[in-house]
Structure 1
């Protein structure tokens, strides 16, 4: 018990009894009432004090309070009828739960009211109690008596902790003592259920000092104000505020639906389910007003019970709701529908879903509210709010609150739905513009990965492997600034441009210059002012398996990492170059001699730029992950992504291209210097036939002889010495190359009937798979490829 003035112990009889009925405490007031000292009764059964002990105690298990008149036996043998109030006190710390039994002594109860109390009770507009300076109740009005459901005349002389064992009574008693000491009033808020109420209310207990004409505090006035409506208004406002903060944190439809359910439980309902119209059923877009029966797919639900056992439908499950169900009716009406459970016509529910009706009855669901999710003129689904633990049904204010919260959520869900659809469209476009498979080449073994951004959407990263003439191969990786369909479309245009420029065998630095001009033109088309609305970075490399040389150039792109055979991975020191779209700045290339088996790693900045690591640490981690690149390149790709990307995915797109170089043996290459004399073409043809015989390619001799004869003759007639002929072959291809120092390239044309020349290149084009020319620093090279498998 709380510390009190010693005189209070003589004015109120108190005893403490445990659950077994044994007396634990006995005060002086109890001795005055029945004559027994504490030593006489403590430790004995309380039933021994009853004049007529019965077979049961008047304190029933599970109850919190009991009051009534008991026949008690005085020490001298007299029988005294005594009204007592018993309150159960909860266990705290090491102290078990007990019962506090109290009764005011008759001398205190019969004290007359003074004018101060009468004035206070008459003027009080609400439930009021008056206490003296010992915190003993001196009077209460009818409003307070009705709340407590106790006889007012019997309560005089009791303290707040005597009248109830609730923690709130002990708290307010402490505050009352502070008001007595300081003379300053105090307000205390609590949410509890009074004895006369069926459900808890929000209360404001206001403690004010009562002073005599001299200003001395003689007692306290405690008034109780019902703030339930104000409390509910604050709850509603808080729910709306929380909804605006907690709903829509991501652009994920299921997550947003779950956030709606989480916000509304338990403030608004005991169970909330969010069901969305199945877009596939309506051609991808939900209808404006769906007609029953309505197909709804469970997106999320939340209950005050762990595991949500009240829900019949599981997340992801599709259910059909016929006309007459709350979901179908609210969707058809376009506004919230509130009903009891089972709603509408009870006999229809077993026909529709007997399991749902059985589950509702099992958990005692009694009120349901179905609110359609509508945004931008489109109906997305329905949110169903159910109460089974809270006894009060949904009110009109609850409907308004639910409609406001679901309206906010519907906009977020629609945003997520539109984003998901746009992301899927963009991703489909992006993947269609990227190479589905990398072409097999004799120059490199390659593997690649592409991962869209986890949060910011699909971007414009791309990679490519492009076979070139002379068994060479081009490798490219690039990154368009921005995300979405526009970035993907721009990426597709740049990738096509790179393949076109690569087809004419431009050097890497020249190719980037032409690509820079293209980006500038795209910027002008996009913005009209040439301010660079389109930007990109790019890395372009050409590898020749014959010479084992690799020429690289980059435009603002991260440098590649090279892993020599048995060596340590290291970034390639390569001039950075400006990003594409700035214009007017030169690009530089670097030339490297690579041992066979060297692994080149090309990637976009999304791989090494993340919040976990700085650039240097990411580069070191990349080199560590590439240290085992001597095995499978596909496994190496997976290891690199696992090592560098965070668990939730990268914040930007990631493109990764690994290429292991191969070398062409010298035995598969033959080179001749050709004199500038047409009469010497025949000996050259003879040497070619001998070389083909040495390579066991006699089946291709006829075609190869014609092609070599035409290309060498044209070089002698129209080119400039020195002239060189080179044959390269692998399993499936024979390549004939003729180089000279003239920069004039031949053009294919159809000769007229009486023309003496012009048919040579047409013949070459008909006899070979591909042919073309490429410019070099010394002049040009005319080449032609013959398919060996077809000719053998």
Structure 2
């Protein structure tokens, strides 16, 4: 107990008093930071040696004088705020110039807090720490963090290059340029190995700090997109040759390498550039181009740490540009595949006149497709659809579905039956996709694609339509008035719905049908369009997963208005007018528009007879056909047509069910049709030499260019088509 009291007394005897001036002197002498003591008028009272580089004199009569090199007004504002409010200000960053080197920037961390003497006088203690190097390191880390967040957002090489210059200017450089070889810009794989120093590079991006007296435009000395060649040997050519970054400091304008590229040298010296960094844009050991950074307004030159940062930025930027290149290449391949799988040019038909437009979206081609299929009986099938997704996979699936649809269509299936069969094909394709998905991948949607299929008959002038998740057509009459064509939208293909309803409508000659995909309706409605519903009765139907019904109705109304003068203009002009009205800017998704103007086959080009169920009528049927061919001036086809009529009528009498009907159609080919009420399906087979029959369809198949069977509500029709003589139009 006595020992503890003795130690306490000893400590009390050694401790200085609260107002011991020696303690204050020790603090101001030994502190490693700049210490300043200001009175209530913010005049410096005392400072330590660190604060003035060894000079302990007081000097100065205002707050701005106590820390030379820093912004006096900002210092005075901070000091007065702390003294008046009585609050501490900690580590507030201010920038300035080093007193011994006015060309060098520095950063200080200022802390202020008020103190009160025993006599009641208030003072302000200010502490300033030089954190220039620490802040520079933090700034570089922040630039890298910004690059990590911003680079790679664009799927375009030019956009990626602009992102890179946006990160570099003004935080690292005053001027930044990106020059790329042509291969990355066109989506082609770049050549491996060193780049020829004389290879032309295209200016992809330019950015500079703005200010008076810059002497350059917003697009830079070299316009964006223009080709230029760097001189050799220069820092640029050396970087292209070996792929190593270069740091050039103290640029005076008389360097030897400037003579190799005098035009560029004059621009650099004219701008007052004093230091520069040239870094290669390298991805996968392949140089894609150059990133060049310049300083002309900032007084401090680039340092080694800045070079390391520039190399890191160039590396990340190169990966972003290479990703954009790969995307551009895949998009180019997918677009080519998409166009190859679409119809090259729809055939000329008597039933309809068609025109179409296909516009790939900015995110890459998807699975939109259309088709115009010639059918028997001078009819035509019109199809349009869209596969979920984009890219090569969607284009390949589109090709498979379109092939399946065309295969089913030429079998003369009704629209609802065709969609049932096509749905089965879509389910098989969906199952194949799901089986190839890696573990943990997102599940594929149930609907693989949408499809709208119509069959138009120019003789009956009727159109039959069915939809699997696709919007119905827009119908405009010959007078330009929009007419309703309500088509019930069932579930998309691949859902296994198997319930597709058909809609039958009689169309006047000269009516225009507009079939479209969701990309055509994806744009924003213009002023005054919102809330307008179309005459088709489908204003409440969405045009896509994210398309509100009101906007979709407004877009359909715009499409209808664009087709008002459909009877007066060419369909190709109408296609362009619709695109101008609905897509003022490039759309995000694929867009397909198919226009079809209906025609009617004149009555004099069709001959129909109802025949009795009697074998003796076969000879009569042949004579009727001969007389009709003579009226049409097709006597050259008498013999072949007589054989076809004999075989078809004989089969209908022998195996069919009355009534029996014979029809001849003089279209782009001579079509012979025999119908009966039976649902039995004839099959072509090769008869043996000992067989007495079974050669009828084989003979027809050899005589006619095309033949087939189609089924209706009340029986079947067997048809055969011959080509017209060469001298007939």
TM-score category, normalised to shorter length: 0.7 to 0.9
**Which residue does the alignment assign to 2:11?**
none
TM-score (norm 2): 0.83
Distance in 2, Cα, partners of 1:754 & 1:160: 123
**Which residue does the alignment assign to 1:528?**
435
Q: After superposing the two structures, state which structure 1 stretch, 316-325 or 595-604, moved more.
A: 316-325
- Taking a change above 3 Å as real, the CA distance of residues 473 and 770 of structure 1, as seen in their structure-2 partners, is same
Distance in 2, Cα, partners of 1:319 & 1:760: 75
- Taking a change above 3 Å as real, the CA distance of residues 500 and 226 of structure 1, as seen in their structure-2 partners, is same
Q: After superposing the two structures, state which structure 1 stretch, 572-581 or 324-333, moved more.
A: 324-333
CA positional deviation for 1:491 = 0.6
**Which residue does the alignment assign to 2:16?**
none
Q: Does 1:200 align with 2:123?
A: no
Q: How many residues align?
A: 670
CA positional deviation for 1:204 = 2.9
**Which residue does the alignment assign to 1:509?**
416
**Which residue does the alignment assign to 1:80?**
none
2:384 to 451, 467, 477: 477
**Which residue does the alignment assign to 1:537?**
450
- Taking a change above 3 Å as real, the CA distance of residues 380 and 784 of structure 1, as seen in their structure-2 partners, is same
2:660 to 720, 723, 746: 723
CA positional deviation for 1:514 = 0.9
Q: Does the aligned pair in 1 maintain the 2:194–2:242 contact within 8 Å?
A: no
Q: Does the aligned pair in 1 maintain the 2:156–2:324 contact within 8 Å?
A: yes
1:653 to 590, 610, 635: 590
Q: Does 1:326 align with 2:235?
A: yes
Q: Does the aligned pair in 2 maintain the 1:481–1:536 contact within 8 Å?
A: yes
Distance in 2, Cα, partners of 1:255 & 1:477: 34
- Taking a change above 3 Å as real, the CA distance of residues 219 and 251 of structure 1, as seen in their structure-2 partners, is same
CA positional deviation for 1:676 = 2.8
Q: Does the aligned pair in 2 maintain the 1:117–1:130 contact within 8 Å?
A: no
Q: After superposing the two structures, state which structure 1 stretch, 158-167 or 227-236, moved more.
A: 158-167
**Which residue does the alignment assign to 1:303?**
208
CA positional deviation for 1:704 = 3.0
2:555 to 609, 617, 621: 621
TM-score (norm 1): 0.77
**Which residue does the alignment assign to 1:459?**
366
**Which residue does the alignment assign to 2:541?**
none
- Taking a change above 3 Å as real, the CA distance of residues 291 and 655 of structure 1, as seen in their structure-2 partners, is closer
- SS of residue matched to 1:424: helix
**Which residue does the alignment assign to 1:579?**
492
Distance in 2, Cα, partners of 1:723 & 1:310: 79
- Taking a change above 3 Å as real, the CA distance of residues 461 and 754 of structure 1, as seen in their structure-2 partners, is same
CA positional deviation for 1:579 = 1.5
- Taking a change above 3 Å as real, the CA distance of residues 778 and 341 of structure 1, as seen in their structure-2 partners, is farther
**Which residue does the alignment assign to 1:694?**
631
**Which residue does the alignment assign to 1:263?**
167
CA positional deviation for 1:588 = 2.0
Q: Does 1:393 align with 2:393?
A: no
CA positional deviation for 1:606 = 2.7
- SS of residue matched to 2:700: helix
1:675 to 587, 612, 615: 612
Distance in 1, Cα, partners of 2:87 & 2:445: 70
**Which residue does the alignment assign to 2:123?**
219
2:62 to 159, 169, 174: 159
- SS of residue matched to 2:388: strand
Q: Does 1:636 align with 2:541?
A: no
- Taking a change above 3 Å as real, the CA distance of residues 120 and 177 of structure 1, as seen in their structure-2 partners, is farther
Structure 1, residues 149-190: CA drift from partner, whole Å, max 9, x if none? 9x957x45x223689999942443344344444554445532
Following superposition of structure 1 onto structure 2, how do residues 750-789 of structure 1 map, counting pairs within 5 Å? 750=686, 757-789=693-725
CA positional deviation for 1:738 = 1.2
**Which residue does the alignment assign to 1:606?**
519
Distance in 2, Cα, partners of 1:116 & 1:683: 135
- SS of residue matched to 2:616: helix
- Taking a change above 3 Å as real, the CA distance of residues 343 and 768 of structure 1, as seen in their structure-2 partners, is farther
- SS of residue matched to 1:397: helix
Per chain length, whose mean CA-contact separation is higher, i.e. which structure has more relative contact order (CA < 8 Å, sep 6+)?
Answer: 2
CA positional deviation for 1:548 = 0.8
Q: Does the aligned pair in 2 maintain the 1:522–1:534 contact within 8 Å?
A: no
**Which residue does the alignment assign to 1:315?**
224
**Which residue does the alignment assign to 1:350?**
259
Give the gaps of 5 or more residues in structure 1.
1-113
Distance in 2, Cα, partners of 1:159 & 1:341: 38
- Taking a change above 3 Å as real, the CA distance of residues 696 and 290 of structure 1, as seen in their structure-2 partners, is same
Structure 1, residues 725-769: CA drift from partner, whole Å, max 9, x if none? 111113x32211111223334444455556555554444344433
**Which residue does the alignment assign to 1:94?**
none
- SS of residue matched to 2:486: coil
Q: Does 1:370 align with 2:278?
A: yes
CA positional deviation for 1:516 = 1.0
Q: After superposing the two structures, state which structure 1 stretch, 754-763 or 580-589, moved more.
A: 754-763
Q: After superposing the two structures, state which structure 1 stretch, 466-475 or 504-513, moved more.
A: 504-513
Distance in 2, Cα, partners of 1:555 & 1:180: 76
